Structure 1
């Protein structure tokens, strides 16, 4: 019997998730009590304008690139929605996904907006699946390379050394390469998942998926690196960001609120003053999460208003 079919498995999974979430919250509260928030505010206000502009430009590039992920799904499914329409849906869903979680942003917004544009449920499912796959395939490849070639120097009081990260990196790299091999040489090209047929993309499309996703993760890390003003090597910032991404997924916290900061503080506070580190992360959250969310909310409101105007006016009997 598969472990997921056992009645105690869902409860154990929920208990472990809740325990991890409670641990993160406890650490955050304990840490927050010892932070001099006055120094954090001063460090945030002291960030040079050119640093903020550079970070904002990188955040905009990342959102623009991610907005192209569904274009891969457009080519994959062969639907004929216009490129600007696809990018708009992708941008809005990603912004809400970052701040409210994947079920709200990544799934609900895509289904609502694509359905109104005339796409069938099966097509939307394939576009959504490929977009999510693209994001995490790039993560696997990039994290595998970074953890294997340039493992993060962990804090000196940690019992875990960098060899553990290297081993993890090898596993992640193997998974990404397995996907490429399947796309290139697998004789079986389709699988059925919950009644939906999933087709393996061609090798060229798989390479495009990996390239786009890797570039996006690297740009995101570049924005944090700029806000830290070079106090930490770029490879280390990238490693910590990749670790924080997984921690955010495990805890299911919308926007990874507090999780991102907790991971960065845990791994880099021995190298960067706490106030400067938190100031950089607050700046990143404002530029990468809050700013795009406001823009996406305005765009979505305009889409809803246009859709309502196009509805037929009911006639009186």
Structure 2
């Protein structure tokens, strides 16, 4: 027997949410654009160039080392998916696919990097679409699990200073911290206590990891987010305390996801300048963020591009020999 919703698939309650979602995304993007224009008018761009040139070489090297450590650690995220799906691709190949996908994801967005590159590269290695979907899901879950806990702790224990013109207050961030920690705790509790670990949702198999594996997911993800914040902190040379840098980075990360801007271009800068400019001059802050983008986004992208060309060339040569 058909329900009213089934007989009328285009009912209003089925269509209003996509429209509202696009409207909210547009409003958020407009807010970010306004912040960028407002801040750009007050920036002395020649001073930004001077600040970049004055960064000491040891600071740049340490920032590059932390960035490399983060990319290597993130490259292990797909290994959790390998464990849960049971595929037998070599560890090095899985990490290479993850690294390439992550670098392109950072610079061109999730659809291009995190999704399209994973499916293409794993298909080259003989992995089926269903298995790739599960690996991708587990990797994304690992990434955001650490985010939930770190953001929850930072917003709860060390809320970032919110400009008076923003519609939220520090107290609101503390409540958000409670909520984020609650979601993470519910996931960890489910992994530790539920006996049933496999479900089928809309034709896709969902596999719940063990409590021990979930804790390992949490640990590597938290360390990864902390390494990313460490790059910015090192480049700022201690002008801002680490907890504040971490909190602003976490806020900027979710803002970039909401805005759907490739590489979070402009979003990251707008959030950092809005929240940290009282503590550090905007010229120095922007110089730091430009160098951060070079170390964490552009250099890995160049390496990943070369690695991807090598993988494609190798796959083409194998096809020709067969």
- Structure 1 residues 118 and 234: CA distance shift in structure 2, 3 A: same
Q: Secondary structure at the match of 2:64?
A: helix
2:111 aligned residue (92, 103, 108)? 103
Deviations 1:3-62 (A, max 9, x none): 995212211111111121122112212221221100000001111111101100000000
Instruction: State the match for 2:135 in structure 1.
Output: 127
Partner of 1:25: 33
CA change 1:245–1:77 in 2 (3 A) is same
Root mean square deviation, CA, Å = 1.8
Give the equivalent residue in structure 2 for 1:274.
282
1:300 aligns with 2:314: no
User: 2:296 aligns to what?
Assistant: 288
The 8 Å contact of residues 155 and 268 in structure 1, kept in 2 or not, is answered as no
| One of 8, 22, 30 as aligned partner of 2:16 | 8
Matched residue SS, 2:159:
coil
What residue number does 1:207 align with?
215
Q: Tell me the secondary structure at the aligned position of residue 320 of structure 2.
A: coil
Please give the secondary structure, in 1, of the residue aligned with 2:161.
Answer: coil
Residues of 2 paired with 1:50 and 1:5: CA distance? 58
Q: Which residue of 2 aligns with 1:161?
A: 169
How is 1:209-248 mapped onto 2 (pairs within 5 angstroms)? 209-248=217-256
TM-score using structure 2 length = 0.94
**What SS class does the counterpart of residue 197 from structure 1 fall into?**
strand
Query: Which one of the candidate residues 180, 183, 202 is aligned to 2:188?
Result: 180
- In the alignment, which residue of structure 2 is the partner of 1:77? 85
The farther-off stretch of 270-279 and 18-27 is 18-27
The answer for the alignment partner of 1:249 in structure 2 is: 257
SS in 1 for 2:88: coil
Give the structure 2 partner of residue 92 of structure 1.
Answer: 100
Partners in 2 of 1:90 and 1:159 — Cα distance? 38
Offset at 1:79? 0.9
Note the alpha carbon deviations across 1:140-184, whole angstroms, 9 max, x for none: 011111111122233466564321111100000000000001111
Structure 1 segments unaligned to the other structure (5+ residues)? none
Aligned to 1:194: 202
CA distance in structure 2 between the partners assigned to 1:94 and 1:159 by the alignment: 33
Give the stretch that moved more between structures: 272-281 or 180-189. Answer: 180-189
Distance 1:4 1:260 in 2: 36
Q: Give the total of aligned pairs.
A: 314
Contact 1:155/1:270 (<8 A) preserved: no
Rounded Cα–Cα distance in structure 2 between residues aligned with 1:4 and 1:286: 46
Deviates more, 1:17-26 or 1:232-241: 17-26
How far did 1:115 drift?
Answer: 0.8
* Contact 1:4–1:10 (8 Å) recurs in 2: no
What is the alpha-carbon distance in structure 2 between the residues aligned to residue 302 and residue 4 of structure 1? 50
Distance in 1 (CA, whole Å) between partners of 2:299 and 2:197 is: 41
Structure 2 unaligned spans of 5+: none
| 1:253 Cα offset (Å) | 0.4
> For the structure 1 residues 288 and 14, does the alpha-carbon distance in structure 2 shift closer, same or farther, using more than 3 Å as the test?
same
TM-aligned CA deviation for residue 201 of structure 1 = 0.6
Residues 313/63 of structure 1: CA separation in 2 closer, same or farther (3 Å cut):
closer
Q: Secondary structure at the match of 1:311?
A: helix
